[in-house]
A and B are shown apart, each in its own frame.
With several copies, the nearest count.
Chain A
Amino acid sequence: MAEAAERVTDIGPPNYQQFLPPIIKANYGKWKYHEILKPGVMMHVAESGDRLYTVRAAGARLMSVWKIRQIADLADKYCGGHLRFTSRHNIEFLLTDESLIDPLIDDLKALGHPVGGIGNSISSIVHTQGWIHCHSAATDASGIVKAVMDEVFPHFANRDLPAKLRIALACCLNMCGAVHCSDIAILGVHRKPPRTDHETLNKLCEIPNVVAACPTAAIRPAQVDGKESVQVIEEQCMFCANCYTVCPAMPLNDPENDGVSIWVGGKVSNARHEPMFSKLLVPYIPNNPPRWPEVTGTITKIIDLWARNARNYERLGEWIERITWPKFFELTGIPFQKEHIDDFKHAGLTFKRSTHLVH
């Protein structure tokens, strides 16, 4: 117990102040305005007149320490060793010398981390673990993200869109990527009810918790082959996997039936329109590794349509709302199915309760 006493705990994170670059310390809370100078580069001007140049490089999110060291080297070379990461996992270099911007961009490119993502562009995809680390995944995360970003890369490297476009991915309905409010969301889905392992269930799990976990009350306690276990009423299961989260003996993973769904029209910012949830566009696309071409194809199609038709500053969901969903389905050619119609708790509120239709 002597050891435990020595142990340092609950110190919390390092104080951020020690990591702020001098120009930020000097102008903290005193920024006046900013301008985007070119793709991936912006300038913040302080009340003091100081100018801070930010160069944003694509983040890999999954990075090795060997790469991080290279990035640290660039920070030393260009901006006194100062850098930050963004809320979407990009890397930002904070420069005071405008003339160093282009050399930095070249070095970043050489390192495989092109710059972009600032302004009306696509930034990197917020995502999750997938087959890299999670037991729950209905699809991979990093692989689709890479495939999609390769495809939409011109919109990261340029500012050629009507507004920002945010893509997110979550590999199961737990939605760790918080994809529920994204312009475009890719969501891993199961489509088969849990396969209950009656042998082990009672040992691994508390049956009342398992029963309580099911939002549709599809799970009932049951004796199977003389063992206390549970029974799933399959027609009542909508594959949320909450039972699996609380009980390892009820896996849903299934190579043939797992896959992804695509959701569109969410947003988070309060700019213009209040925040919105994403809505179902494509209920199911089978997993097709390594490059998920049906997923990337669908996404680029949506982006192209939006980029060509939306007004300035109109986020994807705002555009769809203006032209109406039937028109959007017509433009995309995606078939409208039973699955698109909500049948969960608030379903009735999503019905079209007016005659505001375009014909």
Chain B
Amino acid sequence: MAELPETPLLDELEKGPWPSFVKEIKVAARHKEACRDLLGQLERSYREKIGHWKHGGIVGVLGYGGGVIGRYSDLPEDFPAISHFHTLRVNQPSGWFYTSEVLRKLCDMWEEHGSGLTNMHGSTGDIILLGTSTPELEPTFKGLTDLGFDLGGSGSDVRTPSCCVGPARCEWACYDTLKLTYDLTMSYQDELHRPMFPYKWKFKMAGCPNDCVASIARADMSIIGTWKDDIQQNDEEVKKYAEAGLDIQRDVVENCPGRCMSWDGEKLTIDNRFCRRCMHCINVMPKALAPGKERGATILIGSKAPIVEGALLSSVFIPFMNPDDPEEVAELKEIVEEIWDVWSEEGKNRERVGEFIQRVGMGNFLEAIGMEPVPEMVAHPRENPYVFYALDEEEEEDEDEDE
């Protein structure tokens, strides 16, 4: 195989304790022409301080509208092996669990059909197969399905759902995040593979309010575990923490956002009526405290990155439901599908659901999907007096008068 290109700038990034992506590309470059050209083009970007990829381009696999990101070098003469260099987004298994066996098979398949470079994982959660040519797309897809894998989302469709490790390894999981993720993914295969919405739709499942999958910041629907009853408390263990040097007053009590704890040096008292399920005290004393027994999740809606109307965080949509109960999940799906209908009907092109709700108003949105407003949806009621008093109310009054 040919020599690697000279990369004095990139070589600097082989130094230091953190794993080096340059080393990874170099290893691959020993086997793959494309990776050699990638290295060359990247060095050029480092020298010129500018990227060298052309804008998009629609490529894909038969019958799918998403899952492949088309990419072309803007220096195809200099770097012909990456004149196309498309990535495939492959739907990861819930919780990113693998066996060495399945990983090796994936590797073999990708060495055969693509660059041999991956992202484990992309920031939505997919396995990213980084770079192949247009003719290799279908064979890669075939290779994937042979291994039991399928593509993830891209474009205006359901994006690959992802979740925290949840009950698989975490004592705080308030519902089965892996199961719900798998269930939603399987239920919405069509919506995942065939863009049909005004814009993308992301689901992210976190088992408790620590939100280890950052769902509240980057999911159109964020499903975050929580509980209804009292925190489970083991006073003996609390004492042990105190004896071991934890300053319970300063580090726990004074950090409680509900201001509902007190500590007299002997006994920790939680006024659970005002506990906000923030997790802090539990995080600090995992042996002494645990979420209650009546567990479930809060469903939130609408977060996204800033383009176009500014970033949004998800906000409370259903204060409490139990995702481990199949009936409640069925109801949730009905609501989701109702939202998709309304949003697809009335949403503007490239308008995420969070932006859509703000444009039409939460009250109107709820009416359109047939749900009732509850105070949990707001941080506080409106501060401005610009109320669109509901007309039907007045009609009722008028009717009363007519009678």
Q: Is A48 an interface residue (CB 8 A)?
A: no
Q: Is B40 an interface residue (CB 8 A)?
A: no
A83-122 contacts to B, CB under 8 A, are 83-87, 89, 91, 94, 112-114
Q: How long is the Cα–Cα vector from A4 to B63 in the complex, in angstroms?
A: 9
Q: Is B227 an interface residue (CB 8 A)?
A: yes
Most A CB contacts (10 A, CB to CB) among B53, B182, B279, B309 go to B53
Instruction: Across the interface, name the chain A residue whose C-beta is closest to B259.
Output: A322
* B169/A289 in contact, CB under 8 A: no
Q: Is B403 an interface residue (CB 8 A)?
A: no
Q: How long is the Cα–Cα vector from A69 to B23 in the complex, in angstroms?
A: 15
Q: Check A68/B25 contact, CB under 8 A, given A271-B278, A351-B377.
A: no
For A213, the chain B residues whose CB sits under 8 A away are: 308, 350
User: Which of B56, B106, B228, B307 is in CB contact (< 8 Å) with A242?
Assistant: B307
Q: Check A313/B280 contact, CB under 8 A, given A140-B45, A143-B46, A359-B227.
A: yes
* A14/B102 in contact, CB under 8 A: yes
Q: Is B28 an interface residue (CB 8 A)?
A: yes
For A136, the chain B residues whose CB sits under 8 A away are: 51
* B23/A112 in contact, CB under 8 A: yes
Q: How long is the Cα–Cα vector from A8 to B300 in the complex, in angstroms?
A: 34
Instruction: Across the interface, name the chain A residue whose C-beta is closest to B315.
Output: A351
Q: How long is the Cα–Cα vector from A171 to B91 in the complex, in angstroms?
A: 23
User: Which of A19, A29, A112, A280 is in CB contact (< 8 Å) with B102?
Assistant: A19
Q: Is B363 an interface residue (CB 8 A)?
A: yes
For B49, the chain A residues whose CB sits under 8 A away are: 255-256, 258, 287, 289
Q: Check A347/B358 contact, CB under 8 A, given A12-B91, A33-B287, A60-B20.
A: yes
Q: Check A344/B384 contact, CB under 8 A, given A313-B284, A339-B363, A353-B379.
A: yes
A287-325 contacts to B, CB under 8 A, are 287, 289-291, 311-313, 321-325
* B320/A359 in contact, CB under 8 A: yes
A1-45 contacts to B, CB under 8 A, are 4, 7-16, 18-20, 24, 28-29, 31-35, 44
For A280, the chain B residues whose CB sits under 8 A away are: 381-383, 385, 387
For B290, the chain A residues whose CB sits under 8 A away are: 33
Q: Chain B: how many interface residues by the 8 Å CB criterion?
A: 174
Most B CB contacts (10 A, CB to CB) among A8, A63, A337 go to A63
For A270, the chain B residues whose CB sits under 8 A away are: 209-211, 216, 224, 276-279
Q: Check A28/B167 contact, CB under 8 A, given A173-B385, A256-B397.
A: yes
Q: Is A199 an interface residue (CB 8 A)?
A: no
The distance from the CB of A260 to the nearest CB of chain B, in whole angstroms, is 11
Most A CB contacts (10 A, CB to CB) among B17, B56, B284 go to B17
Q: How long is the Cα–Cα vector from A297 to B114 in the complex, in angstroms?
A: 38
Q: How long is the Cα–Cα vector from A275 to B397 in the complex, in angstroms?
A: 38
Q: Is B37 an interface residue (CB 8 A)?
A: no
Q: Check A348/B354 contact, CB under 8 A, given A9-B63, A16-B95, A84-B96.
A: yes
For B394, the chain A residues whose CB sits under 8 A away are: 191-192, 257
For A327, the chain B residues whose CB sits under 8 A away are: 273-274
Q: How long is the Cα–Cα vector from A184 to B57 in the complex, in angstroms?
A: 33
Instruction: Across the interface, name the chain A residue whose C-beta is closest to B126.
Output: A13
A150-168 contacts to B, CB under 8 A, are 150, 153, 156-157
Q: Check A72/B104 contact, CB under 8 A, given A357-B298, A357-B376, A359-B320.
A: yes
Q: Is A221 an interface residue (CB 8 A)?
A: no
For A9, the chain B residues whose CB sits under 8 A away are: 63-64, 145, 150, 193
* B27/A150 in contact, CB under 8 A: no
Q: What is the 8 Å Cβ interface bit string for chain A, positions 258-274, against chain B (1 contact, 0 not)?
A: 10010001001111111
* A67/B24 in contact, CB under 8 A: yes
Q: Is B60 an interface residue (CB 8 A)?
A: no
Q: Is B243 an interface residue (CB 8 A)?
A: no
Q: What is the 8 Å Cβ interface bit string for chain B, positions 360-388, against chain A (1 contact, 0 not)?
A: 01111011000001111111111111111
* B316/A352 in contact, CB under 8 A: yes
* A240/B307 in contact, CB under 8 A: yes
The distance from the CB of A259 to the nearest CB of chain B, in whole angstroms, is 9
B274-315 contacts to A, CB under 8 A, are 274-280, 283-284, 286-287, 290, 298, 300, 302, 305-315
* A181/B313 in contact, CB under 8 A: yes
Q: How long is the Cα–Cα vector from A178 to B314 in the complex, in angstroms?
A: 13
B115-123, B261-269, B331-339 - interface stretch: B115-123
Q: Check A64/B378 contact, CB under 8 A, given A4-B62, A337-B373, A345-B310.
A: no
User: Which of A12, A248, A272 is in CB contact (< 8 Å) with B56?
Assistant: A248
Q: Check A150/B15 contact, CB under 8 A, given A87-B162, A251-B55, A353-B315.
A: yes
* B306/A153 in contact, CB under 8 A: no
Q: Check A338/B363 contact, CB under 8 A, given A66-B28, A176-B123, A283-B387.
A: yes
* B382/A350 in contact, CB under 8 A: yes
For A176, the chain B residues whose CB sits under 8 A away are: 123, 305
Q: How long is the Cα–Cα vector from A192 to B48 in the complex, in angstroms?
A: 17
For B92, the chain A residues whose CB sits under 8 A away are: 13, 85
* B216/A135 in contact, CB under 8 A: no
* A329/B99 in contact, CB under 8 A: no
User: Which of B121, B273, B315 is in CB contact (< 8 Å) with A358?
Assistant: B273
Q: How long is the Cα–Cα vector from A75 to B362 in the complex, in angstroms?
A: 49
* A12/B380 in contact, CB under 8 A: no
User: Which of B118, B211, B383 is in CB contact (< 8 Å) with A65?
Assistant: B118
Most A CB contacts (10 A, CB to CB) among B15, B190, B209 go to B209
* A66/B123 in contact, CB under 8 A: no
The distance from the CB of B310 to the nearest CB of chain A, in whole angstroms, is 6
Q: Is B84 an interface residue (CB 8 A)?
A: no
Q: Is B13 an interface residue (CB 8 A)?
A: yes
User: Which of A19, A277, A322, A344 is in CB contact (< 8 Å) with B313?
Assistant: A277
Q: Is B329 an interface residue (CB 8 A)?
A: no
* A346/B277 in contact, CB under 8 A: no
Q: Check A44/B62 contact, CB under 8 A, given A173-B307, A325-B378, A357-B226.
A: no
Q: How long is the Cα–Cα vector from A140 to B378 in the complex, in angstroms?
A: 32
The distance from the CB of B297 to the nearest CB of chain A, in whole angstroms, is 9
* B167/A29 in contact, CB under 8 A: yes
The distance from the CB of B200 to the nearest CB of chain A, in whole angstroms, is 11
User: Which of A153, A177, A191 is in CB contact (< 8 Å) with B123?
Assistant: A177
* A68/B118 in contact, CB under 8 A: yes
Q: Is B235 an interface residue (CB 8 A)?
A: no
Please provide the 7 A-B residue pairs with the shortest distance between their CB atoms, ordered closest to farther: A150-B16, A351-B315, A248-B55, A343-B361, A72-B100, A338-B363, A65-B107
* Sampled A-B contacts (14; CB under 8 Å): A11-B145, A12-B186, A63-B120, A73-B100, A133-B85, A147-B13, A176-B305, A277-B383, A325-B379, A340-B375, A344-B384, A347-B358, A355-B211, A358-B275
Given contacts A14-B147, A16-B182, A242-B307, 10 further A-B contacts (CB under 8 A): A13-B149, A29-B173, A65-B118, A68-B107, A85-B98, A87-B125, A87-B214, A255-B49, A270-B279, A289-B9
